[in-house]
Every structure is written in structure tokens, then in C-alpha cells.
Amino acid sequence: MPPRLWAAVTVCGSVLGAIALLAPTLKTQPRWLASVFLAAPLATLFSEGGKRAFDIMRPAGVLEPGSFNLIGQKLYVHAFPSGHSVTAFVVAAA
């Protein structure tokens, strides 16, 4: 797939992307979106706190430069816990 499509897919894993995906349910399931808004600050603290506590290297900091396809800015540290995983868990829990 083209890099712009991969970049769009990765945005869906961010908090704002998840809220945008849930926004159409606001009229029919307002509790879902409310749950996400209530859980998001705690999830953000967990994710950012974990990244600072564990300080695990990202693939760009470990792998050879030509062994992977980089889309976006090169990040080296703060890989765990994954922000995309935390976002997916919050959406699934909501």
C-alpha cells in the first residue's frame, strides 16, 4: 500500500482517530463515547508513564535502516506500552 494510506491507518490507532471512528455512534450509543472520554485520560497516563518507566527501544533504534519501511518521523525510544494497543483496549472496553 502507498505510504499515505499506511499513515492514515496508523492515525486510526491514535486517540483522536478512535474518537473519530466512534463519533457516528454518538446519537445511538452516547455511553460508548462518554466511556472513551472518561477512560482516555487514565489510558494516556498509563501509556505515557509506561513509556518513561520502561524506555524500550523502537524498531528504528534496533533494526538495520534498510530492513523496514519507515513511514513518518523516525522514533527510537518509548515503545512500550504501545499507544495503539492502549487505544484499541480503551475502545474495546468501552
Predicted confidence (pLDDT) per residue in 40-50, tens digit: 888 888 888 88
CA dist 75 and 23 (Å) reads 30
CA dist 80 and 48 (Å) reads 9
Q: What angle do CA 3, 45, 91 make, to 5 degrees?
A: 60
- Nearest in space to 18 (alpha carbons), one of 75, 91, 71: 91
Q: How confident is the model at residue 34 (pLDDT cuts 50, 70, 90)?
A: confident
pTM here is 0.59
CA dist 11 and 18 (Å) reads 8
CA dist 65 and 9 (Å) reads 22
